[in-house]
Amino acid sequence: MTADRTIRLAHGNGGRFMRELIRDVFEVHLRNPDLDVAADAAPLATFDGIPYVTSDGFTVQPLEFPGGDIGSLAINGTINDLAVAGAIPQYLTLSAIIEEGFEVAQLDRIVASAGQAARESGARVVAGDTKVVPSGQGGGLYLVTTGVGYRNSARELGLSQVQAGDLIIASGPLGDHGAAVILAREEFGLEGDLRSDCGPVLELTQAVSEYEGVRFMRDPTRGGVATVANEIARATSCEVRLRELKLPIRDAVRSVCEILGFEPYYLASEGRVIAVVSPEQAVDVTAAWRSFENGRNAEIVGEIVAGPPRVVLETRVSGWRILDELEDDPLPRIC
């Protein structure tokens, strides 16, 4: 590994320090037959279907947390954005913005974690970039990943396909990532054994993306299931009803939220899917997901109904309340 213990501005200058950092950290962990760190742009195999592209930035604090780190998060986040569009991820790019003074050993751990997540996804990192910013102008490490994949089907998936009567399915417990990251912050002085759900959802999305009744899928990251529900309400001008009793939220996540005064429905997940499915196929989709370890707690959690465009939570005690679109920041930054 590069001889320096911490990142210096010279690691970003295009010269020897940068070359050695790329060789000793990025190339080691991301190595694959399609990666040529000396190339300006990487040639790809021709796609078998419709190509898809997505891009996402990652600025989570802390950089490492129970169940994941910014490296695995950056790979899985982009994998999942392709997956919920029905696409199979094939190529990834990884750009790092590193703060002067950052520990090389921590960078090494994080890039190793990214490399492992990429290998598990079946997608290859084929291009990337590193920049070093002066001390005090970064959060240690920011990552931006872009994913390119393909889809063999032209079946339309998207908010425009959603209609009144459709049901909403969650693939598993919601908000684990958000709660785990909050717990990992020293500022709160809380401890627990919650782990981020950070992981790929590709097997879940691929299992059902060709079901006729699947209208739309989204991973409930920033803003959680309540934000996905608000996006659906706004796009369809329908009411979205969520059932508190059905929404799978771990007791530990509820506890964190109670202590800190957050709504769990706005907490991010990083390894879950929300799907909107026709009533005829909702049970099939739920059953299909439950056959996977990562979907064994899948539940039908709500429905789309004709009505004012808003999100209503039907509470345990047979009442209801509105889950509004987020306004000013009610949550610590967790993504």
Binding mask 108-147 for a second copy (x = CB under 8 A): ------------------xxxxxxxxx-xxxx--x-x-xx
Considering only residues 46, 191, 308, 319, which one is a binding residue for a second copy as defined by CB under 8 A?
A: 46
308 three-class SS: coil
- By the rule CB under 8 A, 24 interacts with a second copy: no
What is the distance between the alpha carbons of residues 46 and 49, in angstroms, rounded to a whole number?
9
Query: What minimum distance in Å lies between the beta carbon of 148 and a second copy?
Result: 6
Size of the site for a second copy (CB under 8 A): 82
Query: What minimum distance in Å lies between the beta carbon of 93 and a second copy?
Result: 4
Burial per residue of 276-315, b for 16 or more beta-carbon CB atoms within 10 angstroms, e otherwise = bbbeebbeebbebbeeeebbeebbbbbbbeeeeebbbbbe
Query: What minimum distance in Å lies between the beta carbon of 317 and a second copy?
Result: 27
- Part in contact with a second copy (CB under 8 A); list of ranges 32-40, 103-111, 256-264, 278-286: 32-40
- By the rule CB under 8 A, 64 interacts with a second copy: no
In this complex, which beta carbon is closest to a second copy, that of residue 190 or of residue 235?
235
What is the distance between the alpha carbons of residues 242 and 240, in angstroms, rounded to a whole number?
7
Considering only residues 31, 57, 164, 237, which one is a binding residue for a second copy as defined by CB under 8 A?
A: 57
What is the distance between the alpha carbons of residues 99 and 6, in angstroms, rounded to a whole number?
10
Which H/E stretch holds residue 290?
helix 282-290
Contacts 24+ apart (CB under 8 A), 10-19: 10/132, 11/98, 11/130, 11/132, 12/98, 12/130, 12/131, 12/132, 12/133, 18/130
What is the distance between the alpha carbons of residues 200 and 75, in angstroms, rounded to a whole number?
9
Which H/E stretch holds residue 216?
strand 214-218
Binding mask 183-222 for a second copy (x = CB under 8 A): -----------------------------------xx-xx
Considering only residues 63, 75, 85, 201, which one is a binding residue for a second copy as defined by CB under 8 A?
A: 85
In this complex, which beta carbon is closest to a second copy, that of residue 1 or of residue 235?
235
- By the rule CB under 8 A, 260 interacts with a second copy: no
What is the distance between the alpha carbons of residues 98 and 189, in angstroms, rounded to a whole number?
27
- Part in contact with a second copy (CB under 8 A); list of ranges 68-76, 81-89, 166-174, 277-285: 81-89
User: What are the structure tokens assigned to 130, written together?
Assistant: 């590193």
Query: What minimum distance in Å lies between the beta carbon of 331 and a second copy?
Result: 7
Q: How many CA atoms lie within 13 A of 291 on its CB side?
A: 10
Return the residues of window 225-244 that contact a second copy according to CB under 8 A: 227, 230-231, 235
Return the residues of window 147-186 that contact a second copy according to CB under 8 A: 147-149, 151, 158-159
User: What are the structure tokens assigned to 293, written together?
Assistant: 């370890």
Considering only residues 1, 35, 37, 53, which one is a binding residue for a second copy as defined by CB under 8 A?
A: 53
Binding mask 282-321 for a second copy (x = CB under 8 A): ----------------------------------------
Number of CB atoms found within 10 A of residue 156's CB: 10
- By the rule CB under 8 A, 327 interacts with a second copy: yes
Number of CB atoms found within 10 A of residue 244's CB: 18
